[in-house]
Amino acid sequence: MKQLRRIALATSFLMASLYLLSGCQKHDKSAEKAGKAIDKAAEKAGEKMESATEKAGEKIGDVTEKVGEKVGSATEKVGEKLEKAGQKMQDAAKRDEK
C-alpha cells in the first residue's frame, strides 16, 4: 500500500510539473527535454501502479480463496457436531422411554 501511495504521489508531482511546464511560452530545448523526461517518468509510474494493482488483486484473490476454504471446513465441523448432539438427544430420549 505504501508503494501505491508513493507512485500516486510521484504521478501527481509529475502531472503538476507538466502543467507548469505547459504554461511556458518560451520553447527552448531544455524545457522540451524536461517534458519528455516527465512523460517517461509518468509512463513508468503508471506501469508500476498497474503492476502493483495487479499484484494486490492476485493477493486478494488468494486470501479470499483461503478464507473460503476455512469457512467451508468450519461449517463442516459444526455440522458434524450438530449431528452428534442430535444423536445424543435421540439416545437420551430412547433411554427415558424405557
pLDDT per position as a tens digit, 13-54: 777 776 766 665 555 678 788 888 989 998 998 899 899 999
- 14, 42 contact by CB (below 8 A): yes
**DSSP symbol at 25:** S
Secondary structure percentages of the chain, helix, strand, coil, to 5: 90, 0, 10
Residue, of 96 and 43, whose pLDDT is higher: 43
Q: 44-78 burial by CB neighbour count: b if 16+ within 10 A, else e?
A: ebeebbeebeeeeeeeeeeeeeeeeeeeeeeeeee
Q: What pLDDT does residue 91 have?
A: 86
The Cα 85–Cα 19 span in angstroms is 71
Q: How confident is the model at residue 98 (pLDDT cuts 50, 70, 90)?
A: low
Q: How confident is the model at residue 61 (pLDDT cuts 50, 70, 90)?
A: very high
The Cα 60–Cα 89 span in angstroms is 43
Q: Give mean pLDDT, residues 56-83.
A: 93
